[in-house]
């Protein structure tokens, strides 16, 4: 799992592509505006971030902006990793 | 993945068989779980079972705890489906609370939740809203310092017993979760009587008439009540219920096996007849398959595998139907004595019928499993 440190965007993009039937998602593309996000995917994304990056998504992370795009999710992961390391 | 074999006897079996099983008929008759059972469950630590062990928990500890939690629900399901249901909804509400609460909320509520001083439940269903939780009609209106809730929740397991409800209501941001203590002014609890089975669920309707909740009773963030908070509870509940079904089916099968060995017809035990053997074979295989699914799902949950939710859904989907097949065959093996008044088989049969309805109907789960499976296959 070296990509968790070197390329989190790549791991998140691969997960979203798998989830959205092979669709190519741009790093800043709003997945909700594009119609990809649904209620089932919402918790799958939480489960992916927790499982893949070894993090706990918590109540204070529940902002839709944190999950809107590949780069936003990567930024959330980076913040959580920095907090865990501190 | 290696699936651990469940030992034949666990620490929960003694509690279930010695304390709870002798009271199963009384629980059904009184439609209430007696205080002595609640006290015994508290002393055994049952109300803390299945909750996260904290950041220090390693994978081996998490796996052991997850399987032990499943064995508890299996043991309770074998003794009394009603008691299993009380612990199930406690874990559903408690899991949602533990996962999505603020630090202050965790400090305030979790110690009492884990000790069993507070029993949790989850309030999602409404008269016009079942599986589609996002369509809840109960309104939460922002007022000074908090929210005012108005509406009705229906068919709430432990509605007439729980101390704290995780309730989903509609706000401008969408479905939102709240912590609703039972003593909240404006909350009226109306018990439901005459259930087909699982009468000790102490089911009730909740009527909210301008019930005021302070701001710190909001759970998670507005708009995340259905997609995250409720789903967290449901995922826990589906696996718990699957384990409970395995226990209930195993109890019915065990009695049927004894009956097949002792009931004599045409000069030999009925277990010597091939058509009875066919039922026994189906029952044993069905139970074994469901138990393996539960163990696999519990392992996936403990190891935070990506397919944990799907596995829990499939386990509940299979086990809730399995228990119906098994109790029907077990009842058949008992003949007239399986349909008589106040017989274990009649109770098993009535209780088993509830399992395909709660925590997601069979049909809703079929849709979920199919969609998840379809999403795993890519044509390009």
How high is the pLDDT of residue B76?
98
Which residue in A47, A59, A64 is closest to B306 by CB distance?
A47
A44/B102 CB distance under 8 A:
no
Closest alpha carbon within chain B to A45? B306
Q: Over range A8-37, report the average pLDDT.
A: 88
> Nearest C-alpha of chain A: how many angstroms from B366?
14
For domain A3-85, give the CATH superfamily. ACP-like (1.10.1200.10)
pLDDT tens by residue, B305-333: 989 999 999 999 999 999 999 999 999 99
> Nearest C-alpha of chain B: how many angstroms from A10?
17
How high is the pLDDT of residue A18?
85
> Nearest C-alpha of chain B: how many angstroms from A28?
23
- Helix (H), strand (E), coil (C) string for B27-94: HHHHCCCCHHHHHHHHHHCHHHCCCCCCCCCCHHHHHHHHHHHHHHHHHHHHHCHHHHHHHHHHHHHH
pLDDT at A1 > cutoff 60: no
How high is the pLDDT of residue B377?
82
Q: Tell how strand B164-171 and strand B120-123 pair up.
A: parallel
Which residue in B227, B375, B378 is closest to A43 by CB distance?
B227
How high is the pLDDT of residue B378?
77
Where are the domains positioned within chain A?
3-85
Q: Over range A55-73, report the average pLDDT.
A: 93
pLDDT tens by residue, B1-38: 444 445 556 789 999 999 999 999 999 999 999 999 99
B309/A44 CB distance under 8 A:
yes
How far apart are the C-alpha atoms of B22 and A86, rounded to whole Å?
Answer: 54
Question: Which domains are delineated in chain B?
Answer: 11-115 (1.10.540.10), 120-222 (2.40.110.10), 226-375 (1.20.140.10)
Q: Over range B50-69, report the average pLDDT.
A: 83
Of the listed ranges B50-64, B125-139, B229-243, B287-301, the least confidently predicted one is B50-64
Cα B352 to its chain centre, rounded Å, is: 12
* ipTM field: 0.87
């Amino acid at each position: 799992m070296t990509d968790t440190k070197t390329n989190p965007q790549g791991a998140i993009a691969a997960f979203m592509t798998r989830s959205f039937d092979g669709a190519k998602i741009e790093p800043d593309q709003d997945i909700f505006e594009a119609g990809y996000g649904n209620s089932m995917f919402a918790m799958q994304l939480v489960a992916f971030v927790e499982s893949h990056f070894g993090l706990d998504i918590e109540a204070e992370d529940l902002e839709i902006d944190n999950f809107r795009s590949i780069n936003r999710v990567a930024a959330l992961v980076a913040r959580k990793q920095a907090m865990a390391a501190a | 993945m290696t699936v651990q074999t469940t030992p034949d006897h666990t620490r929960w079996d003694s509690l279930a068989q010695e304390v709870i099983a002798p009271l199963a008929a009384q629980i059904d008759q009184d439609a209430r779980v007696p205080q002595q059972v609640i006290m015994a469950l508290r002393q055994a630590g049952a109300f803390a079972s299945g909750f996260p062990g904290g950041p220090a928990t390693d994978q081996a500890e998490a796996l052991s705890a997850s399987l032990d939690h499943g064995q508890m629900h299996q043991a309770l399901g074998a003794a009394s489906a009603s008691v299993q249901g009380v612990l199930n909804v406690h874990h559903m509400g408690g899991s949602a609370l533990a996962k999505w609460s603020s630090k202050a909320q965790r400090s305030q509520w979790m110690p009492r939740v884990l000790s069993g001083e507070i029993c949790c439940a989850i309030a999602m269903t409404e008269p016009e809203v079942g599986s589609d939780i996002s369509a809840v009609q109960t309104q939460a209106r922002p007022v000074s310092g908090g929210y005012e809730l108005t509406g009705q929740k229906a068919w709430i397991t432990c509605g007439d017993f729980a101390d704290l409800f995780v309730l989903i209501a509609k706000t401008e941001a969408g479905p939102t979760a709240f912590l609703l203590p039972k003593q909240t002014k404006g909350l009226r609890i109306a018990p439901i009587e005459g259930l087909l089975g699982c009468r000790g669920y102490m089911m009730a309707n909740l009527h909210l008439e301008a019930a005021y909740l302070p701001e710190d009773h909001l759970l998670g963030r507005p708009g995340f009540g259905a997609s995250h908070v409720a789903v967290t509870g449901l995922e826990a509940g589906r696996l718990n219920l699957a384990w409970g079904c395995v226990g209930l089916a195993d109890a019915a099968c065990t009695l049927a096996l004894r009956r097949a060995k002792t009931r004599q017809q045409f000069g030999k035990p009925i277990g010597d007849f091939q058509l009875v053997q066919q039922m026994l074979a189906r029952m044993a295989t069905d139970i074994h398959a469901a138990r393996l699914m539960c163990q696999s799902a519990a392992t996936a949950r403990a190891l935070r595998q990506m397919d944990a939710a799907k596995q829990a859904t499939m386990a509940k989907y299979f086990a809730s139907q399995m228990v119906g097949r098994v109790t029907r065959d077990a009842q058949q093996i008992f003949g007239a004595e399986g349909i008589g008044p106040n017989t274990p088989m009649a109770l098993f049969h009535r209780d088993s019928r509830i399992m395909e309805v709660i925590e997601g109907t069979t049909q809703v789960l079929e849709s979920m499993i199919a969609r998840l499976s379809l999403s795993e296959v890519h044509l390009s």
